[in-house]
Homo-oligomer: A and B are copies of this chain.
Amino acid sequence: MTSERSSAIDFENWSCPVPLRDTPQVVMGHGGGGAMSAELVEHLFLPAYGSSVSPGDSAVVPLLGGRIAISTDSYVVKPMFFPGGSIGDLAVNGTINDLAMSGATPLYLSIAFILQEGTPLATVGRIASAVGAAAAAAGVSVVTGDTKVVDNGSGDGVYLNTAGVGVVPEGVTIEPARAAAGDVVIISGDIGVHGIAVMSVREGLEFETSVSSDTAALHSLVAAMLGAGADVHVLRDPTRGGVAASLNEIARSAKVGISLDEPSLPIPASVADACSLLGLDALQVANEGKLLAFVPAESAPLALEAMRGHPLGAGATVIGACVEEHPGMVVARTALGGTRVVNMPIGEQLPRIC
């Protein structure tokens, strides 16, 4: 999905081409990873930037006779510390994961802080330490950074941005468009854990739960899968917008249908309970240490074995398959034998979750 840079868009006298919106203003849903985010990218950013932008979470580009992957993400999670991690962990692991989902070996990270005036330096230090520890654990180098300070009232504690660079091994091409009818859909473990962990400590919502964020760097899990010789078509970490958004994006990109087996979805009771309490759909809740893998049926046993032999894939399980029917749509078969459409989330169930 690329488009030529067009000088025809006159933003000075602009009648908001982003569809379905009542007001020509940014709303929280534009940051939710769902349909509104996609519209903003398609109708505003891509025409403005031109032909070269990758619509995915990382871009694979040629360099020095090889291929590298480049990725960036900002982090605005609130609160900054939550059960199982912090904004610093997310910033490192999230960007590593975006690179890993294109099959790249992550090597280098940049990290930029936007600090609100008045933030305790000890808080900045705790976050920076989390960044350093997560990078060291993942074997990735933080090589450059930046710091900006905004006046009190203009920020909200700490925002982070990480960008990452990795090398894509020769012969590896992992991208959404490769999903094909017959592919098996695997998830590496429990669904919805990160989102619920963050919500459980959010002001006004605090509730008792034993759920901790699953934030983790997944590149070694991917390496295990590729090392085992599995033919991996697509990888995706289902963060903002959850499994529902990721599967819908892949279905549309590859023009295949995706059929989910609802009873197979590994949703822990604690997540299911919290979702009931908050009125959420677990399929739309963010994960920060899980991946979805699309592999041809004949590669599935190999992929599953490799995943289950890795600590971050111990709970790997098949949750569905790609089908020729209903291209572009995700349909779940329920325990009672019925079907329901799993829609692309429109806006944002859980704002500022990452």
Enumerate chain A interface residues (CB-CB to B < 8 A). Answer: 5, 9, 11-12, 14, 16, 18, 21, 24-32, 37, 40-41, 44-45, 48-50, 52-54, 56-59, 61, 63-66, 68, 70-76, 107-108, 110-122, 124-126, 128-129, 131-132, 135-136, 141-151, 153-156, 159, 161, 163, 165, 167, 348, 351-352
Contacts and interface: CB of A to CB of B under 8 A. Distances in A.
Given A5-B136, A124-B44, A156-B155, A27 B149 contact: yes
25 contacts: A14-B125, A16-B121, A24-B122, A26-B116, A26-B118, A26-B119, A26-B121, A26-B149, A30-B115, A31-B115, A31-B147, A40-B147, A45-B128, A49-B142, A53-B142, A53-B145, A59-B144, A63-B167, A65-B65, A72-B110, A72-B111, A72-B144, A112-B163, A114-B159, A154-B156
A296 B155 CA distance: 45
Residue from A24, A72, A113 with most neighbouring chain B CB atoms (10 Å): A72
Given A11-B129, A64-B68, A54 B117 contact: no
B49 A14 contact: no
Number of copies: 2
A73 B143 CA distance: 13
Nearest to A24: B121
Given A114-B114, A150-B76, A159-B159, A144 B71 contact: yes
B352 A26 contact: no
Contacts of A141: 52, 61
A170 to B, nearest CB: 11
A163 B153 CA distance: 26
